[in-house]
């Protein structure tokens, strides 16, 4: 920069000198000055930088809470038989129903007691913790709801002419003497006598016998579930059966009892009260389980192969045998020996049930017997 400035000055001096040598002329001089001037420049740099900052955020979460007190029992309640009854509760232990008491007489049924006391079978069952499979035992005390005190012995009533005959009493054989060994002590044992309608026209019961049906829940572990259905019961003469079936279904005489129900499980019992002297006895019930699972192409029966499809047991008062599987499609016999310590009425009979749904859940009952085993004293 200084060299250029010096050169400019030399040039200007030469021009002046020349001008002086000649005529003086006015000269306009323009001086160019180049000078470095420091300049401050601000530079803005944009920098992108991630900044992580913690921010407190309040979060509300809905949680369902079931208070424990909702399922707790009352503070003063203790687990007792009232919460979970024992298998064989006394009638007054689990029911608050009050009423008169009545001593069951030989031949009494829930139907006859309900009719004579102005109540219903359902009310009697509820008051005494009974179901459809329960039966009465002579001498048993039961509660009659709606009445007070003690109910006298119910007199046998004559059914109204316009109503179907209803069994109101069964007179047990008089206990005046002990029977000889081998004598059949059952009334109408082969069901050859007359019969009567019991509650419904679909129930024909041999005279001298009673019937109970279970129409409650089928809670058997291996079963169809749902409800047991009431079967139809008929006293069938040989003339109403095909000749080929006589040897299957009629064990003795000319009649048989037929119980049947298609497309539903069923459970029922048939029994009678017999006056017995002290001694040893044998009860035998004979039956043909007509339990049909289906039919083949020739419309022949296909019998159920599972023994649980048709079960039976013997009834002796509140005991007897347990449920036993049977063989469908052929004759079966159950036998039970028992002893009597004192002269009394004893309830004897048989119970039958079908736990599965079949094309036909049927039974033929015939030629039952009750015999004394020891010699009369």
pLDDT in tens, 28-61: 555 555 556 665 555 555 545 555 555 454 544 4
- The yes-or-no verdict on residue 269 having pLDDT over 80 is yes
Specify the domain boundaries for CATH 3.10.350.10 within the chain.
96-169
123, two tokens = 């009310």
- The yes-or-no verdict on residue 106 having pLDDT over 80 is no
pTM over 0.95: no
- The yes-or-no verdict on residue 302 having pLDDT over 50 is yes
Q: Is the dihedral of CA 125, 129, 135, 140 positive or negative?
A: negative
pLDDT tens for each residue of 19-28: 544 545 555 5
**Contact between residue 218 and residue 133 where contact means Cβ atoms under 8 Å apart:** no
What pLDDT score was predicted for residue 165? 41
Q: Tell me the pLDDT of the chain averaged across its residues.
A: 77
Least confident range from 30-44, 57-71, 135-149, 185-199: namely 57-71
Percentage of the chain with pLDDT > 70? 62
CATH number of 96-169: 3.10.350.10
Pick from 316, 315, 274: nearest CA to 179: 274
State how far the Cα of 341 lies from the Cα of 356, in Å rounded to an integer: 40
What pLDDT score was predicted for residue 121? 78
State how far the Cα of 72 lies from the Cα of 277, in Å rounded to an integer: 55
Which stretch, 5-9, 48-52, 144-148, 182-186, has highest mean pLDDT? 182-186
212: three-class secondary structure by DSSP: strand
- The yes-or-no verdict on residue 209 having pLDDT over 70 is yes
What pLDDT score was predicted for residue 82? 40
State how far the Cα of 272 lies from the Cα of 266, in Å rounded to an integer: 21
pLDDT tens for each residue of 303-332: 999 999 999 999 999 999 999 999 999 999
- The yes-or-no verdict on residue 179 having pLDDT over 50 is yes
CATH architecture of 173-372: Sandwich (2.60)
Burial 3-38 (b: 16+ CB within 10 A, else e): eeeeeeeeeeeeeeeeeeeeeeeeeeeeeeeeeeee
Specify the domain boundaries for CATH 2.60.120.260 within the chain.
173-372
């Amino acid at each position: 920069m200084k060299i250029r400035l010096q050169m400019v000055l030399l040039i200007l001096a030469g021009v002046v000198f020349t001008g002086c040598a000649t005529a003086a002329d006015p000269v306009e001089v323009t001086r160019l000055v180049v000078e470095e001037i420091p300049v401050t420049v601000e530079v803005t740099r944009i920098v992108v930088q991630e900044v992580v900052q913690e921010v407190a955020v309040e979060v509300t979460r809905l949680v369902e809470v079931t208070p424990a007190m909702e399922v707790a029992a009352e503070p003063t309640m203790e687990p007792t038989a009232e919460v979970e009854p024992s298998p064989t509760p006394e009638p007054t232990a689990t029911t608050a129903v009050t009423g008169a008491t009545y001593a069951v007489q030989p031949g009494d049924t829930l139907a006859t007691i309900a009719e004579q006391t102005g109540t219903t079978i359902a009310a009697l069952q509820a008051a005494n913790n009974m179901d459809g499979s329960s039966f009465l035992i002579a001498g048993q005390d039961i509660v009659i709801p709606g009445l007070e005190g003690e109910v006298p012995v119910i007199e046998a009533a004559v059914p109204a002419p316009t109503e179907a005959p209803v069994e109101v009493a069964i007179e047990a054989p008089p206990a005046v003497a002990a029977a000889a060994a081998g004598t059949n002590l059952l009334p109408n044992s082969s069901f050859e006598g007359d019969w009567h309608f019991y509650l419904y026209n679909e129930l024909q019961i041999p005279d001298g016998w009673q019937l109970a049906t279970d129409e409650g829940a089928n809670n058997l572990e291996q079963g169809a579930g749902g409800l047991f259905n009431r079967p139809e019961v008929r006293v069938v003469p040989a003339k109403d059966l095909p000749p080929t079936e006589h040897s299957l279904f009629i064990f003795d005489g000319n009649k048989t009892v037929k119980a049947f129900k298609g497309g539903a499980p069923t459970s029922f019992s048939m029994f009678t009260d017999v006056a017995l002297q002290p001694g040893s006895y044998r009860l035998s019930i004979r039956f043909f389980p007509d339990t049909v699972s289906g039919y083949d192409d020739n419309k022949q029966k296909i019998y159920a192969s599972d023994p649980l499809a048709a079960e039976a047991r013997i009834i002796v008062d509140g005991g007897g045998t347990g449920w036993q599987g049977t063989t469908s499609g052929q004759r079966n016999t159950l036998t039970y020996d028992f002893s009597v310590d004192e002269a009394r009425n004893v309830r004897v009979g048989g119970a039958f049930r079908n736990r599965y749904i079949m094309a036909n859940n049927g039974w033929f009952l015939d030629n039952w017997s009750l015999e004394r085993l020891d010699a009369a004293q």
